Amino acid sequence: MTKEPAIILKDVILDFPVSKSGPAFLKEIFTGRTGKRNKDSFYRAVNQISLEIKQGEVFGIIGPITKTAYNLGAGIGLAIFLRYIVALIIVSPLIPNQQNLFSIYKNNIRDFLLITVASIMLTTGLLISVTYINVSLTIIIFCTYPILVLSISIFITKEKIKNVIKFLFFTTFIGLFLALSPSTDDLKIEGIIFALIASLGAAIMIVTNQTMSKKNISPIPINIFINFFNTIFFFIILSLFYEIDTNINLNAFLILLIPSCSYAIALFLQLLAIPRIGQTNTALFLYLEPITGIFGAVILLNESLTSMQLFGTAIVLISLASSTFVTRRT
């Protein structure tokens, strides 16, 4: 059976492509370096939705693949450490090409520290939450972060958002609730609190990234900073409190590399998408993450879907398609 690739860029249009094809053309798409300084024209030229949809899909496959590795004997500690060290290795070749990197960090250290702390809140909040409550409920609570981003956009950054987009945020969340059908058995307040911490961390990451993009800080320095300090942080934490079992099945280790690479690609695409489509649209389309996770579980773990899950998934997809239509018309 032929499987479709995890990342697809489609409907990408440039008003003034410097290169017609080849690696230089792709570089222009991913870096925003078009040879002209008119960044606004470039950002309008890129199809805003396609990048974000595919980013959500890459995040979504991480859970089911990681669970497959767990079933083969991999531990959580190794999964966490590999996620950040692999992401750091992938982004490392880009470091020599970054001009004034340390000056960028020095002049914007508060933003870099804030987005890094937020990413730690996200990771640790999710990992601790699932030890108290079931995974579906954790994801539902965590996925309130798009609504947090919407609230910040309306009341703090004063973005003008159409009422139909606000409505679609809530219909998408309702669809997600139906798709995940969370159980409230053994409900513990600690699990809810840590899931909310993860949600807050995700919202802060998106909003801070939007702020940094307005300062013309590219996604590459942000990516380097987050992965470098998270690698150090989790190495220290895991060394002190968790034994990383490296004596595991080779297949489990190789399988863990897949979600690790997916995380690195997904984080970069998320950081890349926010300056182009804004924090509100980014947050909305990240609702695709758990949906693709559901279908990933069906494909990889042979799990079955109920009619209610299919109905909820349909609501999410219709809501996102409606948002795409509204965005393109504006």
- Same domain membership, residue 226 and residue 176: yes
Query: What percent of the chain clears pLDDT 70, i.e. is strictly above it?
Result: 73
Beta carbons within 8 Å of 189's beta carbon, 6+ residues apart: none
Tell me: pLDDT of 48 over 60. no
For the segment 5-23, the average pLDDT, to the nearest whole number, is 40
Tell me: pLDDT of 185 over 80. no
Tell me: pLDDT of 97 over 70. yes
- Give the pLDDT of residue 230: 92
Which of these three, 31, 46, 61, is where a domain ends?
Answer: 46
For the segment 146-173, the average pLDDT, to the nearest whole number, is 90
Domain enclosing residue 10, as ranges: 1-46
- Give the pLDDT of residue 243: 63
Work out the end-to-end distance of the chain between its first and last CA atoms, rounded to an integer number of angstroms. Answer: 40
pLDDT band at 315 (very low <50, low <70, confident <90, very high): very high
pTM across the whole model = 0.72
Query: What percent of the chain clears pLDDT 90, i.e. is strictly above it?
Result: 29
**Range of lowest pLDDT (24-38, 124-138, 176-190, 224-238):** 24-38
- Same domain membership, residue 38 and residue 52: no
- Same domain membership, residue 315 and residue 186: yes
> Which is nearest to 73 in space by CA: 272, 214, 250, 227?
250
Number of domains into which the chain is organized: 2
For the segment 58-83, the average pLDDT, to the nearest whole number, is 63
Give residue-wise pLDDT tens across range 199-212: 999 999 999 999 99
- Same domain membership, residue 222 and residue 133: yes
How many angstroms separate the Cα of 265 from the Cα of each of 86, 127, 208, 241, 248? Answer: 11, 21, 19, 29, 25
- Same domain membership, residue 75 and residue 39: no
DSSP 225-240: HHHHHHHHHHHHHHHH
User: Environment class of residue 13 by beta-carbon count within 10 Å: exposed (0-12), middle (13-18) or buried (19+)?
Assistant: exposed
- Give the pLDDT of residue 133: 80
- Same domain membership, residue 39 and residue 100: no
- Same domain membership, residue 67 and residue 124: yes
Give residue-wise pLDDT tens across range 229-263: 999 998 888 788 766 665 667 777 788 888 788 88
- Same domain membership, residue 34 and residue 131: no
Contact 142, 202 (CB under 8 A): yes
Tell me: pLDDT of 283 over 80. yes
> Which is nearest to 140 in space by CA: 186, 175, 167?
175
- Same domain membership, residue 67 and residue 108: yes
Extract the tokens encoding 151: 């609230």
- Same domain membership, residue 250 and residue 111: yes
**Range of lowest pLDDT (19-33, 108-122, 179-193, 309-323):** 19-33
- Same domain membership, residue 278 and residue 210: yes
Angle at 256 between CA 255 and CA 259, to 5 degrees: 100
Helical segments of 61-188, H only = 62-71, 76-91, 101-107, 109-129, 135-142, 145-155, 163-180
- Same domain membership, residue 249 and residue 158: yes
pLDDT band at 71 (very low <50, low <70, confident <90, very high): low
Q: What is the rounded average pLDDT for all residues in the chain? A: 76
